[in-house]
Amino acid sequence: MSVLSVKKNNEQIYGLFLIITVYLQKVLYITLIMNKSMFFAALAMVGLAACAPAQKQETTKSGLNPANFESVFGGKETHLYTLTNNNGVEVCITNFGARIVSVMVPDKEGNFVDVALGFDKVTDYETIPSDFGATIGRYANRINQGKITVDGVEYQLPRNNNGIHCLHGGSTLTPEPLGWQYAVFNADAVTPNSITLSYVSPDMEANFPGTVNLKVIFTLTDANEIDINYEATTDKKTVINLTNHSYFNLNADASPIIDNILAINADYFTPVDDTFMTSGEIRPVEGTVMDFRQGRVIGEVVNADDDQIHNGKGIDHNWVLNAKRDINVPAAMVWSKNTGITLTVFTDEPGLQIYTGNFLDGTVTGKGGQLYGQRTAICLESQKFPDSPNKGNLEGWYSAELNPGETYHSRCKFVFGTRCCEEHESCQHCEHHNK
């Protein structure tokens, strides 16, 4: 295009601008005569239109588009909620299944990365069977043969775990959604760093007796803690065991977590058979591959030639915590050497189920188009022991019963930090990153 052509085009644009300006002045003058207040409102709108940039959809720090979580499922609206603290940490939660969708924390270099597996949009949660980040109920983990007896009445629960046991409250997505992880919770209260979600589980949902009113409160503290509090009541005697099923990848890249270091503050665990069911035995970890008291590389254990590892297809076991339900005593810690990120778990529950993503197989595409392959995450699920409704009378086990007039309480904290090396306590670099 020639210089003359450019000049001519600029003159035409300028002329058009003058015409529009004169027109607006006439409109505003007429408006002034008719109503002075309308004039000033119109003038303000013109000013705003001139100054405001083009609208664009805001995304979260983790790259999520909140609009992708606006949906209706089972007649109820779903949304995405963002919690932040004064350190720049961000946790995104959806009321679909009361799920943690993303967790943005700093690595050892101060770069913020997402350490939670999940999906970019709620329709994936609605159509792809998963428990990514979900609140699990009415009973987390397995119940033998899907049978419980409450007040002398036997109840047959869904046998959704290979047709043998009831897993995670009998949850299933097809043919009909069932289980709390596929329920839409109510958002009762939202602040910049916390959200209270609630759900009413009707009597005989998944064949569990009693109407249960649940409240789960997520709080992101300035200590970089995700503090999860559960409360529940029932109108009929029932069993209950709640947990959060977040899949954490501290490498922050959906790579296998087998190079991570895992430490568990537990002298005992509950062994399982080849159907993943506990026997009722509480076995010492001493002298077994299940001894993580001093910290071990995960890959050294999940690939071990050991009956328990074979039965669990890797690590999928419950440990009897030494903390003895003291929320101030660490239950377990995971550390990625790659990012330096640490995750420490605290809970007032007696057990911690640890699962190393053994059944992830690369067929599910998660956030950012990442494929979730085997052992690309670790789950740390605070809980009563598996099958406690049938073993609660055994020594060392805990009852999972809830009676009318009582309130169920459970708490778990996921605490994030950084360290750069094995000599963390004496390393100045680590101390710098943990100030």
- Give how far Cα 239 sits from Cα of 155, 307, 349, 398, 412, Å: 11, 31, 15, 12, 19
Secondary structure (3-state) at 140: coil
- Give how far Cα 262 sits from Cα of 258, 265, 334, 400, 412, Å: 10, 10, 5, 28, 18
Active site residues: 245, 381
Give 169's contacts (C-beta < 8 A, 6+ positions apart). Answer: 136, 137, 138, 139, 140, 179, 180, 206, 208
Tokens of 290: 């299940």
| Contact (CB, 8 A) for 417 and 434 | yes
φ, ψ (nearest 5 deg) of residue 320: -90, 110
Instruction: Please report where in the chains the tokens 């085009």 appear, as a residue.
Output: 9
- Give how far Cα 144 sits from Cα of 54, 115, 329, 384, Å: 58, 33, 31, 14
- What does the alpha-carbon distance between residue 88 and residue 85 come to, in Å, rounded to a whole number? 6
Phi-psi region of 4 (alpha: psi -120 to 50; beta: other; left: phi over 0): alpha
How many residues are given for the chain? 435
- What does the alpha-carbon distance between residue 291 and residue 294 come to, in Å, rounded to a whole number? 8
| Contact (CB, 8 A) for 102 and 367 | yes
